[in-house]
Amino acid sequence: MPNFVVRPISSKRDMNRFIDFVYDFYNEKDYPYAVPPLRMDQAETLSPKKNPFFEHGKVQCFLAEDPSGNILGRIAAVINGSYQEKYQDGSGFFGFFESVDDYAVAEALFKAAEEWLKAQGLTKMGGPLNPTINDTAGLLVDGFDRRPSVMMPYNPPYYEVFLKQYGFERVMTMWAYYIHHKYRANFDKLERMIGLLYKRYPGLKLRNLDMKHFDRDAQIVKEIYNEAWSNNWGSVPMTDNEFKHLAGFLKLIVDPRVVFILELDGEPVAFSITLPDLNQVLRYVKRGSILQGLPLILRNRRPGKGSMIHDGRTLLMGVRLKYQGKGFDAIVNHAIVKYGPENGYDGSEMSWLLDSNKPMVNAAINLGGVKDKEYGMFEKVF
């Protein structure tokens, strides 16, 4: 018999322990490159009262504990109503998975999530998603000796072994490409092409995010994002409330100098969002404390003299479907690496890029990007 139990959580105390586990697990000695998130963000993500995901989704969390009550691991089983409405393929998901290096613990956690999803009438389990593909998603499978960028996952190498041993198969690979201004590609050819685009479409105009009209521009981004990504693998449109929730978070940290909206005759047709890599600050925050983290973030939220931040993460980019294939993506991608260094960003990570999205992968390569990290999405059919 195993010397531990896996049980569903139902109390506020258990949820606090579920959240706190990452700060004990990812200690500096064993995992010097891990950057646990702010505790407040984790609590809000898992709160049905604060996260609009719960308007259509369900999450059941589980803890694995030894006889003394010490936590050995955790997992969440996830039902995404928006995903079900779009795909209707019987998929549930798992997320927030952590486990000590003991396959028996991981197996029991996977089993608990699987049985819960089965009871809801689902026939397969994918992930990891925390809790959706629009949140922190994917399993790190290569790049363990480097810190993750903001809102990107980190995990021990043995997680992939455990997933495969349980019967999961990798169904998608995602990449993080890093572009440093010293090693970016020769832009002469790209800039000539962009010059031709502006001649061919004289109504093109590239502008920055307007913080005075943030809500208006956020709505523009939402509409383009949901349309541009609609045919991508695993994509799920954000609801109005989900995007409003995300925009509220981004408004606190976004740098409008590296957020671009491309318009054609006044119609927004493409965008890109690069965020300051707050993980270069959050790595110094102990146990996800907002009291310690907020002052650090406020002092270092922009690159500049004395700032801890010198990199960004290109989080989102999209082109309206009817304008895809016209080269407009090159304009917003070029803007990232041209204007980033002028504003204190030595480099930027483009992440993540689906392996199946060859145009974006090729664009990252053509800009001088190099593969820095590899992530996987996994699935098990019941």
Q: Where are the domains of the chain?
A: 5-176, 179-373
pLDDT of residue 1: 64
Contacts 24+ apart (CB under 8 A), 144-147: 144/33, 145/33, 146/33, 146/372, 146/373, 147/33, 147/34, 147/35, 147/279, 147/280, 147/283
pLDDT tens, 38-74?
Answer: 999 999 999 999 999 999 999 999 999 999 999 999 9
Fold of 179-373: Aminopeptidase (3.40.630)
Looking only at the bridges linking them, the beta strands covering 129-130 and 136-137 are antiparallel
Single-letter amino acid, residue 326: K
Helices (H), 71-181: 81-87, 103-119, 158-166
25, pLDDT greater than 90: yes
Angle at CA of residue 59, ends 54 and 62, nearest 5°: 155
Prediction pTM value: 0.95
Tokens of 330: 């090159």
What is the average pLDDT across 80-103? 98
Question: What average pLDDT does the structure give for the chain?
Answer: 95
What is the average pLDDT across 319-341? 94
Residue with tokens 């198969």: 169
pLDDT tens, 318-328?
Answer: 999 999 999 99
Single-letter amino acid, residue 340: G
The lowest-confidence range among 86-95, 179-188, 244-253, 351-360 is 179-188
Residue with tokens 């709505």: 219
| C-alpha dihedral, 243 to 247 to 248 to 254, nearest 10° | 160
Residue 53 φ/ψ, nearest 5 degrees: -55, -35
Please tell me the CATH code under which domain 5-176 is placed: 3.40.630.30
Residue with tokens 């990452």: 22
